[in-house]
């Protein structure tokens, strides 16, 4: 109780001391506010002064009135944008202040303040400097710069020089400063100006307040004498009140502690119930062991994996009842290594458990140490995942993969057969046409023998060429399906046309279509597989023929023509290399929107006898050469197919 009373008395004295300091800090804050408010009023007066031009005589009169009203200002100057003095005026109360110092000596301070004012677009202050005066006296002063804005542009600056002692005496009320000393210090504690003094008999208390101004910051320090009060008159009352408050506080704390304990116990019970429900709902088995290997806890999922109730598991040691007999030695060795090793396990390991019905269960075991509240290991916690379903799923997945691979091989064989049959139609049709023409010539008795011999030799040669072409087509399609790189060479454009012109002219003659072939004068050779590119041109020409059927009533004589054109592509940012563009233009009905969306889809066709592989094969061939195949509507009707091939260097 005596110690409590002593503490109470000490706390009472400390409270009085802190209360006095708080009051002093409040007064210091009010003084700082008065300084800021006074400086703000001065800024408003200076801004009103900037309305008058520096060359007008009214400025001298207005500045004189302002200096007479504000004793803290020692000097006013009007400076142009280059900080040259245009007008200046000294305070009538201290006219001799600047006799011992040239204004050029403080130009850096003025420049610093005006630079901040220009940056802030408002008033700014400079750091203080010592201004010497007569009789070895002096005072600390600072410069304030206010930008003058006229006609929305900077016309110059008004510079006001403040004396720091004058700020304390003029801007802070005298009743606030009574019985106190007020000083302006720098941040490191250097005193710049002070007003008033304190008799230091019982010690002093002090308060500091930051005086933050634009461009500079000071510390306002206020001191006053420490007051002493009587102790004895307030000890008994204070002691009784303090004891009453202490007892009340103790009872309140006790009640609060009881309620906290009840809440903690309730929270703990809820947490245990929640953990129990969570562990019971897990599909992952949990098994805890102590440092000797005895099982201390199992969850229902673990019991379901091993097929045993908790009563048969908890308390058992090594060997565990679910270890397979043939692997007990291996498991025992692994258990001893884990118990003696200080390294924490980084990943799980696969194992097998023996279920109660004798079935071996593949599991994945992940273990982690059990750490108590004292950061000591008390055992191991194992998480066991039953992998039986996963193994079954893997077997099913492997079987499905085998079936899919077999199906893919069958689909590839079918696609290859379809491609070969599609591409062989043209050379076989040409061979049939040549054979039919040869029979017609042989059956004509009026044909001379020499002419008959010449025509039959030419026809048979063409049939041999088409047969050789069929062989090349079969080999090229096979290489395309197997994604095998073929030998490419520099092929002239005319050579590509010569390779397909017999077939094109033969079919065009039958259909009554005029074919126009044009090669640009500066067109280079292309780097390609000639057989594959000839097949692309032949497919596009045949599609163009089929787009202009002879029975079309809108197909007059002017529409029954098909044009092929080859020209170099101008180099640009998107195609910096050299390319050659081939265009095939027909004058058919064109493509509908639905057909245009699916035209390159394999097995999509609009023809009754078509297979839908021609354009898909053409795009694959062009893309293997590094080019692009596209189409657009022709003018005034029809379709233009365009593809590009790399030029031979």
Average pLDDT, the chain: 81
The pLDDT assigned to 132 comes to 86
Residue 608 confidence (pLDDT): 61
Token representation of residue 463: 């049939």
Q: Per the CATH hierarchy, to which homologous superfamily does domain 282-386 belong? A: PAS domain (3.30.450.20)
Cα distances from 628 to residues 300, 619, 622, 638, in angstroms, run: 63, 7, 6, 20
**Higher pLDDT among residues 279 and 392, named by residue:** 392
pLDDT digits (tens, 9 = 90+) for 201-240: 667 888 899 988 998 999 999 988 876 544 444 555 566 6
Q: Could you tell me where the beta strands, DSSP code E, fall in 284-359?
A: 285-290, 295-298, 349-354
Kindly report, residue by residue over 125-157, the tens digit of the pLDDT: 999 888 888 777 888 999 999 998 887 888 889
Contact 113, 139 (CB under 8 A): no
Query: Domain residue spans in the chain?
Result: 2-225, 282-386, 389-484, 485-649
Name the least confident of 313-322, 345-354, 389-398: 345-354
For residue 274, the model assigns a pLDDT of 84
When pLDDT is cut at 50, 70 and 90, the band that residue 642 belongs to is very high
**Range ranked top by mean pLDDT from 34-43, 273-282, 444-453, 613-622:** 34-43
> Do the domains 2-225 and 485-649 sit in the same CATH topology, yes or no?
no
Q: Within 10 Å of residue 582's Cβ, how many Cβ atoms?
A: 25
User: Which has more pLDDT, 198 or 324?
Assistant: 324
- The correct answer on CATH 3.30.565.10 for the domain covering 485-649 is yes
Where is mean pLDDT largest: 358-372, 562-576, 622-636? 622-636
Task: Flag whether the pTM goes above 0.85.
Answer: no
Helices (H), 172-294: 174-177, 232-281
Q: How far is CA 230 from CA 19, 236, 415, 519, in A?
A: 16, 13, 112, 119
Residue 434's pLDDT is 72
Look at residue 481 and tell me whether its pLDDT is greater than 70: no
Token code pair at residue 485: 């790189």
Rounded to an integer, what distance in angstroms lies between the CA atom of residue 358 and that of residue 356? 5
pLDDT over 90 (residue 582): yes
- What percentage of residues in the chain have a pLDDT greater than 90? 13
Q: Encode pLDDT of 27-62 as tens digits.
A: 889 999 999 999 999 998 888 887 777 667 788 888
Burial of residue 131 (CB within 10 Å: 0-12, 13-18, 19+) is buried
More confident residue, 476 or 596: 596
pLDDT for residue 104 is more than 60: yes
Q: Which fold has domain 2-225?
A: Beta-Lactamase (3.30.450)
Query: In this structure, what token pair is assigned to residue 320?
Result: 């565990």
**What pLDDT shows up at residue 417?**
58
- CA 528 vs. chain centroid, Å, equals 44
Position 416 confidence tier, pLDDT thresholds 50, 70, 90: low
- Of 79-93, 115-129, 252-266, 446-460, the least confident: 446-460
Tell me what pLDDT residue 161 has: 92
């Amino acid at each position: 109780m005596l110690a409590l009373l002593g503490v109470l008395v000490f706390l009472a004295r400390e409270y009085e001391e802190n209360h006095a300091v708080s009051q002093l800090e409040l007064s210091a804050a009010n003084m700082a506010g008065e300084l800021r408010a006074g400086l703000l009023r001065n800024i408003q007066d200076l801004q009103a002064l900037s309305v008058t031009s520096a060359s007008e005589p009214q400025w001298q009169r207005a500045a004189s009135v302002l200096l007479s009203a504000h004793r803290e200002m020692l000097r006013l100057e009007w400076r142009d944008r280059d900080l040259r003095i245009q007008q200046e005026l000294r305070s009538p109360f201290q006219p001799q202040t600047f006799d011992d110092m040239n204004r050029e000596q403080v130009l850096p301070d003025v420049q610093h303040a005006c630079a901040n004012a220009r940056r802030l677009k408002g008033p700014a202050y400079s750091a203080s400097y010592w201004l010497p005066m007569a009789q070895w006296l002096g005072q600390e002063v600072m410069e304030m710069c206010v930008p003058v804005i006229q006609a929305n542009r900077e016309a110059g600056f008004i510079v006001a020089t403040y004396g720091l002692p004058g700020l304390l005496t003029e801007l802070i009320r005298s009743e606030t400063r009574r019985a106190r000393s007020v000083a302006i210090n720098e941040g490191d504690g250097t005193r710049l100006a002070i007003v008033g003094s304190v008799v230091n008999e019982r010690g002093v208390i002090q308060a500091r307040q930051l005086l933050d101004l634009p461009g500079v910051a000071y510390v306002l320090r206020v001191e006053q004498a420490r007051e002493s009060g009587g102790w004895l008159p307030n000890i008994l009352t204070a002691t009784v009140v303090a004891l009453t408050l202490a007892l009340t506080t103790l009872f309140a704390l006790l009640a609060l502690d009881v309620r906290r304990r009840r809440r903690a116990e309730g929270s703990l019970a809820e947490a245990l119930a929640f953990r129990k429900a969570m562990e019971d709902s897990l599909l992952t088995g949990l098994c805890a062991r102590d440092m000797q290997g005895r099982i201390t806890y199992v969850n229902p999922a673990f019991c379901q994996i091993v097929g045993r109730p908790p009563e048969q598991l908890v308390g058992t040691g090594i060997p565990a009842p679910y270890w397979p007999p043939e692997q007990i030695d291996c498991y025992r060795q692994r258990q001893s290594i884990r118990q003696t090793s200080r390294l924490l396990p980084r990943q799980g390991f696969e194992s097998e458990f023996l279920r109660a019905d004798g079935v071996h269960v593949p599991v994945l075991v992940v273990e982690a140490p059990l750490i108590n509240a004292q950061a000591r290991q008390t055992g191991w916690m194992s998480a066991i995942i039953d992998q039986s379903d996963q193994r079954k799923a893997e077997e099913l997945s492997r079987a499905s993969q085998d079936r899919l691979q077999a199906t893919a091989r069958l689909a590839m064989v079918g696609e290859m057969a379809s491609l070969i049959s599609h591409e062989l139609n043209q050379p076989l049709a040409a061979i049939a046409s040549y054979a039919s023409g040869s029979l017609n010539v042989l059956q004509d008795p009026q044909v001379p023998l020499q002419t008959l011999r010449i025509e039959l030799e030419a026809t048979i040669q063409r049939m041999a060429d088409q047969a050789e072409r069929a062989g090349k087509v079969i080999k090229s399609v096979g290489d395309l399906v197997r994604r095998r790189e073929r030998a490419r060479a520099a092929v002239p454009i005319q050579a590509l046309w010569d390779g397909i012109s017999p077939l094109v002219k033969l079919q065009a003659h039958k259909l009554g279509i005029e074919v126009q072939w044009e090669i640009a004068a500066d067109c280079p050779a292309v780097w390609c597989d000639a057989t594959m590119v000839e097949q692309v041109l032949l497919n596009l020409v045949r599609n163009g023929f089929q787009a202009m059927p002879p029975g079309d009533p809108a197909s007059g004589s002017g529409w029954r023509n098909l044009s092929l054109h080859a020209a170099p592509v101008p180099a640009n940012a998107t195609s910096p290399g050299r390319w050659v563009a081939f265009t095939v233009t027909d004058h058919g009905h064109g493509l509908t929107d639905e057909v245009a969306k699916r035209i390159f889809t394999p097995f999509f066709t609009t023809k009754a006898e078509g297979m839908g592989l021609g354009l898909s094969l053409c795009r694959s061939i062009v893309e293997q050469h590094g080019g692009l195949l596209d189409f657009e509507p022709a003018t005034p009707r029809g379709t233009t197919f365009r593809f590009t091939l790399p030029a031979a260097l």
